[in-house]
Amino acid sequence: MTYEDAIKNLPRPGSGRGFHSGIMTVCNLGVIQGHCRQRIFDDLRAIGDRGTRTVPDKEIWDTIEEAERTADGRPKSYQFKSGGKALNWDMQPYVVKTIDTDRNKDSLPEPGDPTEDFQTFIRALFNDDDFVSINQCKEDGTWGQCGPGHKVSDLLALNKPIQDRFAARHGLGIVCNPTDGQGRRKEHVTDYKYTLVECDEQSFPVERQYQRLLELNLPIATMTHSGGKSVHAVVRIDASDEHEYKERVKVLYDFLKANGYPIDAQNKNATRITRLPGCMRIGRHQYLLGTNVGPRSWNEWQELLEDDDLPPFVNAEDLLNDDSIQLAPELIDGILRQGHKMMISGPSKAGKSWSLIQLALAVANGGTWLGKQCRQGKVLYVNMEIDEGSFKHRLKAVKEAISTQPARNLTVWTLRGKNMDSHTFADKLIRKIHRTKNNFDMVILDPVYKIQDGDENSAADMNLFCRQLDYIAVNQGAAVVFVHHFSKGTQGQKAAIDRASGSGVLSRDPDAILAMSEVDGEPNTYRIESNLREFPPMAPFDIKFVWPTHVMSLDTVSKPVKGDGTSNRKRKISPERVVNAIKVAGFGKPIDRQRIAKFMDVAEDSRQLRVVLKQMVGDGALTVIETKNEKGGQGPNLYSVTDLGATLN
């Protein structure tokens, strides 16, 4: 019994046929036959997602680890309940014969024994109880079926050249996937295992096709000389259904095109016919060039590509001279670019979700958000917290308050009660976007803690989570916006970047961070402080939540953030306060010590202020600009915040 057979016979979770005991069998076979842990996990995860019972990732990983611990001994047998055969460890696994291929060989292998070629080819692709569709090539190049279908075990029992059974002057072909024995149309395909790769460029000689296919290291099950001017490669797709088959074939074809291999695009469907080795084609051999070439599965190939898929080194001068490389367009002026990430953090019940709905409508219609112009684009709002009726109520209220335009550019995906980890969520999101042929400019996740993995205080866990956000941004090319809550306790004396709860990784990964801090003595009023990777520092500003939207508040900016606990004059003069003073009082422009002191409500000649300014200049957080007075003498020094200093606030 092979690993592939165990996967094929594994019942779906919740079917009552022994899924849990079945995955132990699969893991044991996978470990003994040398499959990597990630492949085993991915195969089991794909089946687990199609059942009626939720299978946690931990259950699968624990079973794989148990199999690895017992791999040096002979694990016990497991059986599937009614409807499945026992997977007995005393059964000898069937091993497909492999024809060696020399990757450095310039010439093609010579034809072998026709009967051996045919049987090796069939065994490499099909099981004994599979049905296949044999086809006869006609003089005009079209194909005619040699009966509706043939059982593999019957074909192998012939023990003679296949052309002795099916006469065909122009050669024989076979549908590269198993069928139900009733025909060769797509409705007769029973398993989406393979696709055909064939060169359509006659100027690309067959010897070069063979060598290039070896160089590309595809998961090739069989390679056949067509008896003409092409090599037929049957490539492992290992899809669970027709939809996944089409997605994977597209990935494969895109890879081949990117690597300069001229492919026949007509071969994409699962019923394409490949030339059958072991027979003649108008006096020329159709013969086997190799089996099991390259990685042994689709997943293994994808794992190998993770390294090969990295971008090349680029010379700096070439980069500077490449006019095709441009900045991503701004979605929110001065704050966020398309394809980047933004986090909005704030205290509980600050109206963060209301603000996100306001942002979604602003981008959908090309309006303004918190005083900033938004470029019009398509938005996906992933609502994971409130029910659909409540979200509809909120959306209607905000739309009526700020816009009369239709919200056709805004799409909503409500996932309340649909629990999943970030890896599963990211994969399903991207697949759903591609399947529905949408192309979003912004994806909003509200709230992000619903899909967070592990401990939010763990740097390692949050690093893994942030990678999933990157995956969404890169694969969709959309800005990813999410909200996060403040940590417990007083926030007034913390830097804005440190007010979000959990590990600092989450607060430093996004390209833009907006912190909403309560203004002392002003109900429903919040100070927006920013940390921006792509843009110059932005002066803090205040907003007020006037149901159902946030509006600008211009008369509260001089008041401290709630939780300060002391007057300005008694507070310690910290680098963070100095940076905040320059940003707010100078509106991002250099200012002198007098204006800094006035804003901070400290004495102009404060020794403490002088010491802090001198230290910040020495540390590179501030730069000093010397000025001249009206008489040409030395004027007051002006202080400007550097990029390093901007990270302090």
Report residue 327 as tokens.
Answer: 């900045």
Which CATH number is 575-646 given?
Answer: 1.10.10.10
Contact predicate 393/414, CB 8 Å? no
Average pLDDT rounded to a whole number, residues 622-643: 87
Chain segment 200-225, per-residue pLDDT in tens = 777 788 998 998 899 889 999 999 99
Q: Which residue has the higher pLDDT, 110 or 196?
A: 196
Report residue 83 as tokens.
Answer: 């409807």
Contact predicate 539/583, CB 8 Å? yes
Which amino acid type is present at position 607? Answer: R
Asked if pLDDT for residue 79 goes beyond 60, the answer is no
Report residue 579 as tokens.
Answer: 């940076």
Percent of the chain at pLDDT exceeding 70:
83
CA distances from 612 to 253, 517, 607 (A): 61, 25, 9
Residue 500: per-residue pLDDT:
62
Residue 174: per-residue pLDDT:
95
The residues spanned by each domain of the chain are: 3-87, 114-306, 330-553, 575-646
Mean pLDDT of the chain: 82
Residue 333: per-residue pLDDT:
95
Confidence band, pLDDT 50/70/90 cuts, at residue 505: low
Q: Which residue has the higher pLDDT, 21 or 575?
A: 575
Residue 260: per-residue pLDDT:
81
As a whole number of angstroms, the distance between CA 287 and CA 384 comes to 56
Least Cα distance to 525 among 483, 558, 482 occurs for 558
Residue 152: per-residue pLDDT:
93
Contacts of residue 506, defined as CB under 8 A and 6 or more positions apart, other chains included, come to 343, 456, 462, 465, 466, 484, 500
**330-553: CATH superfamily:** P-loop containing nucleotide triphosphate hydrolases (3.40.50.300)
As a whole number of angstroms, the distance between CA 185 and CA 165 comes to 23
Which amino acid type is present at position 6? Answer: A
As a whole number of angstroms, the distance between CA 140 and CA 411 comes to 51
Asked if pLDDT for residue 570 goes beyond 70, the answer is no
Average pLDDT rounded to a whole number, residues 22-49: 79
- Our CA angle for 391, 394, 395, nearest 5°, is 85
Give the count of beta carbons closer than 10 Å to the beta carbon of residue 89: 16
Residue 90: per-residue pLDDT:
33
Contact predicate 133/151, CB 8 Å? no
Q: Which residue has the higher pLDDT, 501 or 569?
A: 501
Asked if pLDDT for residue 74 goes beyond 70, the answer is no
Mean pLDDT highest for which of 193-197, 535-539, 631-635? 193-197
Chain segment 471-488, per-residue pLDDT in tens = 888 878 899 999 887 765
Asked if pLDDT for residue 514 goes beyond 50, the answer is yes
Residue 132: per-residue pLDDT:
95
Residue 493: per-residue pLDDT:
53
Confidence band, pLDDT 50/70/90 cuts, at residue 458: low
Average pLDDT rounded to a whole number, residues 233-237: 96
Residue 221: per-residue pLDDT:
95
Average pLDDT rounded to a whole number, residues 270-299: 92
As a whole number of angstroms, the distance between CA 283 and CA 285 comes to 7
Report residue 193 as tokens.
Answer: 């295992």
As a whole number of angstroms, the distance between CA 368 and CA 332 comes to 8
126-165 in b/e burial notation, b at 16+ Cβ within 10 A?
beeebbbbbbbbeeeeebeebeebbebeebeeeeebbbeb
Chain segment 414-443, per-residue pLDDT in tens = 999 888 877 778 878 888 888 888 889 999
As a whole number of angstroms, the distance between CA 376 and CA 110 comes to 62
Fold (topology level) of 114-306: DNA primase, PRIM domain (3.90.920)
Asked if pLDDT for residue 381 goes beyond 80, the answer is yes
Asked if pLDDT for residue 597 goes beyond 90, the answer is no
Contact predicate 589/608, CB 8 Å? no
Q: Which residue has the higher pLDDT, 331 or 90?
A: 331
Chain segment 158-175, per-residue pLDDT in tens = 877 888 888 888 999 999
Exposed, middle or buried: residue 4 (CB in 10 Å: 0-12, 13-18, 19+)?
buried
Confidence band, pLDDT 50/70/90 cuts, at residue 498: low
pTM for this entry: 0.45
Chain segment 84-139, per-residue pLDDT in tens = 333 333 333 323 333 344 444 557 888 989 999 999 999 999 999 999 999 999 98
Asked if pLDDT for residue 375 goes beyond 60, the answer is yes
User: How far is CA 417 from its chain centroid?
Assistant: 23
Residue 589 is given by DSSP the state: S
Residue 259: per-residue pLDDT:
81
Q: Which residue has the higher pLDDT, 450 or 284?
A: 284
Least Cα distance to 29 among 81, 121, 91 occurs for 91
Q: Which residue has the higher pLDDT, 329 or 77?
A: 329
As a whole number of angstroms, the distance between CA 553 and CA 517 comes to 13
Exposed, middle or buried: residue 64 (CB in 10 Å: 0-12, 13-18, 19+)?
buried
